[in-house]
Amino acid sequence: MTSTPSRTLSAGIERWPIAGSFTISRGAKTEAVVVVAEIRQGSLTGRGECVPYPRYGETPDATLQAILAMQEPLTIGMDRGALQARMQAGAARNALDCALSDLEAKLAGERIWTLLGRPAPKPCTTAYTISLAAPEAMAEATAKAAHRALLKIKLGGDGDADRIRAVRLAAPRSELIVDANEAWAEDNLAANFKACADAGVTLIEQPLPAGKDEALSRIKRPVAVCADESVHDRASLAGLRGRYDAVNIKLDKTGGLTEALAMADAARGLGFEIMIGCMVATSLSMAPAMLIAQAARFVDLDGPLLLARDRDNGLRYDGSLVDPPDAALWG
């Protein structure tokens, strides 16, 4: 019997300053707080990054402890498959799943997409996010980004119709998607849908609170609607039919690339369009998501563009065009 090669686990909390601030309907922040897991075997180290999200009751400290609690299972040979059964979906599992994927690729001397039997990722166009603010301020920020092909507009409830109109005037040629982050209500849904349709918006993300989105099955949807907070992993897909046209897959919600790939396949099988999304984080968070981006109708992997600086060997962005990761970064 051969013994399992020794693996050691380390993890830490990192803080990356945001260029300015990032504002959505639930508040503003000036830094991205991420947790990085590293799994070392011999001279090789696999890395994964996650973003704990208070919306789901996650904190950096609790996420860090959940990751470090997996030292013994990793020592005795826990792989990605066993990880799915041992941990629930969420940020901590995402960091470990991506670190295991990275290590697997390094040990094999192959890119991870080859090992997974997936096509090699190609450059893709990402959305660029405009933070929530007054219509005039959003129009000013949009005008500076109007050269970008795809803009994602953060909305927040009262006054959103004015924000939508102001943004469209500032970027007449850009494709627009909007993200309400659960801030709309049933009584303003029709008016906000009309404002989006009039402005030529392509997609509306999560207009109503998760668990309170029944109205979406009763109202005519003139613009495609995408689930974000209402969808997490494959188990949550079936209940979305009739309410949503697309699903936003984020690795911090699915608990890693392993579930995200399976979820994307299942979602397409149910007729949903795919959006690949992100939290504000470094390129280490974006890199695994590039595998999902290849079959996504909408790509939103602009996290590093919102930071004051990115980590070494980060993804290459040429405007809104983002290249696949180099092996020095991940995978």
Give domain status of residue 329, yes or no: no
Task: Indicate if 243 and 303 belong to the same structural domain.
Answer: yes
Residue 268, C-beta contacts closer than 8 angstroms, at least 6 positions apart: 274, 295
Q: What is the DSSP letter of 215?
A: G
Task: Indicate if 100 and 148 belong to the same structural domain.
Answer: no
Task: Indicate if 232 and 103 belong to the same structural domain.
Answer: no
| Of the residues 92, 115, 138, the one at which a domain ends | 115
Task: Indicate if 109 and 28 belong to the same structural domain.
Answer: yes
Task: Indicate if 168 and 315 belong to the same structural domain.
Answer: yes
Give domain status of residue 208, yes or no: yes
pLDDT value of position 6 = 87
Give domain status of residue 183, yes or no: yes
pLDDT value of position 25 = 63
Please give the single-letter amino acid code of residue 130. Answer: I
CATH number at residue 50: 3.30.390.10
pTM: 0.93
Task: Indicate if 61 and 174 belong to the same structural domain.
Answer: no
CA angle 50, 123, 108 (to 5 degrees): 60
The two tokens of residue 312 are 């070494």
Domain extent, residue 240, equals 124-322
pLDDT value of position 95 = 98
Task: Indicate if 60 and 140 belong to the same structural domain.
Answer: no
The two tokens of residue 19 are 């260029």
Task: Indicate if 227 and 271 belong to the same structural domain.
Answer: yes
Task: Indicate if 86 and 155 belong to the same structural domain.
Answer: no
Give domain status of residue 1, yes or no: no
| Of the residues 86, 115, 144, the one at which a domain ends | 115
- Number of residues in the chain: 331
pLDDT value of position 1 = 32
Task: Indicate if 134 and 108 belong to the same structural domain.
Answer: no
pLDDT value of position 4 = 56
Give the residue carrying structure tokens 């984080």: 281
Give pLDDT tens digits along the chain (331 positions): 344 578 999 999 999 999 877 777 667 788 999 999 999 999 999 999 999 999 899 999 999 999 999 999 998 889 999 999 999 999 999 999 999 999 999 999 999 999 999 999 999 999 999 999 999 999 999 999 999 999 999 999 889 999 999 999 999 999 999 999 999 999 999 999 999 999 999 999 999 999 999 999 999 999 999 999 999 999 999 999 999 999 999 999 999 999 999 999 999 999 999 999 999 999 999 999 999 999 999 999 999 999 999 999 999 999 999 999 999 999 9
| Of the residues 115, 143, 161, the one at which a domain ends | 115
Q: How many CA atoms lie within 13 A of 215 on its CB side?
A: 15
Give domain status of residue 327, yes or no: no
Instruction: Sort 54 into a burial class: Cβ within 10 Å, 0-12 / 13-18 / 19+.
Output: exposed
pLDDT value of position 26 = 64
Q: Supply the residues annotated as catalytic.
A: 154, 250
For residues 270 and 266, what is the distance between their CA atoms, to the nearest angstrom? 6
For residues 155 and 24, what is the distance between their CA atoms, to the nearest angstrom? 7
**Closest of 49, 51, 46 to residue 31, by C-alpha:** 51
Measured from the Cβ of residue 161, the count of other Cβ atoms closer than 10 Å reads: 18
Task: Indicate if 251 and 161 belong to the same structural domain.
Answer: yes
CATH number at residue 173: 3.20.20.120
pLDDT value of position 210 = 94
Please give the single-letter amino acid code of residue 42. Answer: G
Task: Indicate if 94 and 135 belong to the same structural domain.
Answer: no
Domains contained in the chain, number: 2
pLDDT value of position 20 = 78
Measured from the Cβ of residue 198, the count of other Cβ atoms closer than 10 Å reads: 13
